[in-house]
Amino acid sequence: MEGANLSVHPNDKICLVGRNGSGKSTLMKIAAGHIESDKGERFVQPGTTIHYLPQEPDIAGFETVEDYIIAGLGPQDDLHTALAMAEELGLSPESKTAELSGGETRRAALVRALAPQHDIVFLDEPTNHLDLPIIEWLENKLHQIRSALVLISHDRRFLENLSQETVWMDRGQSRRLNKGFAHFEDCRDEFLEQEETDRHKLSRKIVREEHWIIHGVSGRRKRNMRRVKELAGLRQTKASERKVAGGVNITMAEGETSGKLVAKLFGISKSYDDRKIVDNLSTIISRGARVGIVGPNGSGKTTLIKMITGELEPDNGKVKLGVNLDTLLIDQKREMLDPDWTLKDAMTDGTGDTVVIGDESKYVYSYMKDFLFLPEQARTPIHALSGGERGRLMLARGLRTPSNFLVLDEPTNDLDLETLDLLQEFLADYPGTVLLVSHDRDFLDRVCTSVIASQGDGIWTEYAGGYSDMLAQRGTPSTPNVPKSKPKQKQKTKSDEPKEQTDKLTFKQQHALKTLPKEIERLEFEINKLQTALAKPGLYDTEPKKFNAWAGELAKREELLSQKETEWLELEILAEEYGE
């Protein structure tokens, strides 16, 4: 990260987005005052109160939840309000902090962050370890507070519902968009497309200048040297470009085609200690289905998965599995990873330099690159990887095994937005059947063909479509959206009109591509001639009308030259795309 900026004003609702490792958390820690930057300045208005919630809250040193919450309150804050908030989240103030689960620890940290009246609240992945009801509770609470908010999250729906401005961390720099996350991805894609076009134009211009240097007229040495220097400048610009890192290239080993029936549940039930986990559930899962399982933590999602896959027998009812099933479970809790393994050993199971993907072998460094790992990370121990990197590693390890029935337990945890996009596309193309447990509403909407949702007391109901479809069918209102800045109305232009699709240049375009270089050369000659004439000493004093006339002609030709060069470069790009 170099030269990044972040400014926060009262009532701001800002989201920080970018790939894992882009510097989001580092910038947030610097802004919150938890670490110092190597360069630059941090200024905070005197009297401003700030709270920072890290990805992994540390509650060590506090005996109870109440002790932890009290330590975060100021003189003007109300303890009763804070404890009431804790109870809203299902936390007992007397609970021992040493006995809290990851989700309970996160909820206690949220109370400590949101109960006091802070001017600015920094939240780094606040939805981690939270189930859907708590995530929606958190959204409502963040709508209500008066604090300025700075958010980091990989939960698209969460960011869409809360943010009004976006700061994009990209290749070490920050770019601010005065719109919420709902508009970010379109703006990012437009920026990257324009950047790629500019890069291509620069490359073609360098080629043209090099051709001129080699084959152009050798006279007028002074002018030649100017163009040589300009060419050197173009090459330096090209060399200093920072290109976007490549995308995840998810590859997998394909299994045999399963039978049309994957699983059929006949009135299955399961209880533990008189507590109903599943009560009389019947459903059919067919080949090609993408089934999401949603519910609060502790509702029995894992138990249901185990019964559907045949790992666990129901107390009552029956599960019939289809034929030719190759089931693959990818557990994103990462419990199966030895923290002392190196990345290379985890990829290859310690067998050398190749990764076996089904019946094929691939060089481990190439396979690492497919999942955005650098060669120098090969000997990095697993415990030193970020959460997102461990998530990509689990995908890489799991997809080596042939399967036709893929079971994903919280696959979206800690994955950046680009990797989520690729995982979504992968699941769309996966030839088998998918069973998915997730708290990511947007991901469920994009992937699932149906959702099995917990209604409480062991009752599970299946709904067609994704998470939003489930809410609509249940008549449950979705979380209200914070008002967003309205996008400017785009005026319709000729470029917006539907265009006839073609895969080759028209005759007119081919003719222009051949003749434009000569027109450009002629204009350059005329421009040089006019510049030489205008440089004649005393011309303006002796013949002002002639001077003004020639200056006007020079401006026209320079503008026309720019147009012709742009037209030529665009045609070159098209010709290259069409292979001409």
Model confidence over 121-143: pLDDT tens digits? 999 999 988 889 999 999 999 99
* Residue among 459, 382, 481 nearest 142 (CA): 481
pLDDT at 136: 92
* Residue among 497, 120, 420 nearest 250 (CA): 420
Looking at per-residue pLDDT, the higher value among 300 and 524 belongs to 300
pLDDT at 501: 46
pLDDT at 261: 86
CATH class of domain segment(s) 13-179: alpha beta
- Is pLDDT at 230 greater than 90 in this prediction? no
Helices 102-114, 79-88: axis angle to 10 degrees equals: 150
- Is pLDDT at 170 greater than 90 in this prediction? no
Q: 3-state secondary structure string, 77-112?
A: CCHHHHHHHHHHCCCCCCCEHHHCCHHHHHHHHHHH
**Lowest mean pLDDT segment, chosen from 215-219, 360-364, 562-566:** 215-219
Tokens of residue 481, six digits: 């959206």
* Residue among 305, 309, 192, 318 nearest 245 (CA): 192
Gap between the Cα atoms of 164 and 220, Å rounded? 57
Assign domain 500-580 to its CATH superfamily. Answer: Valyl-tRNA synthetase, C-terminal domain (1.10.287.380)
Q: What is the mean pLDDT of residues 480-505?
A: 43
Share of the chain above pLDDT 90, in %: 36
Gap between the Cα atoms of 397 and 375, Å rounded? 17
Q: What is the mean pLDDT of residues 274-294?
A: 92
pLDDT at 277: 94
Q: Average pLDDT over the chain, rounded to whole? A: 82
For residue 223, what pLDDT band results from cuts at 50, 70 and 90? very low
Per CATH, which fold does 261-474 belong to?
Rossmann fold (3.40.50)
Looking at per-residue pLDDT, the higher value among 115 and 489 belongs to 115
pLDDT at 554: 86
Indicate the residue type of 378: A
- Is pLDDT at 477 greater than 70 in this prediction? no
Could you report the per-residue pLDDT of 413-448, keeping only the tens digit for each? Answer: 777 777 788 788 888 888 899 999 999 999 999 999
Tokens of residue 155, six digits: 């939960």
Q: What is the DSSP letter of 464?
A: E
Gap between the Cα atoms of 427 and 377, Å rounded? 27
**Lowest mean pLDDT segment, chosen from 45-54, 182-191, 400-409, 473-482:** 473-482
Q: What is the pTM of this model?
A: 0.67
For residue 245, what pLDDT band results from cuts at 50, 70 and 90? low
- Is pLDDT at 231 greater than 90 in this prediction? no
Task: Please list, residue by residue across 393-426, b when 16 or more beta carbons sit within 10 angstroms of its beta carbon and e when fewer do.
Answer: bbbbbbbbbbbbbbbbbbbbbbbbbbbbbbbeeb
pLDDT at 111: 94
Gap between the Cα atoms of 72 and 468, Å rounded? 36
Tokens of residue 323, six digits: 């034929």
Q: What is the mean pLDDT of residues 69-78?
A: 89
For residue 482, what pLDDT band results from cuts at 50, 70 and 90? very low
Could you report the per-residue pLDDT of 336-370, keeping only the tens digit for each? Answer: 678 888 999 999 988 888 988 877 888 999 888 88
**Lowest mean pLDDT segment, chosen from 89-103, 217-231, 302-316, 322-336:** 217-231
Q: What is the mean pLDDT of residues 222-239?
A: 59
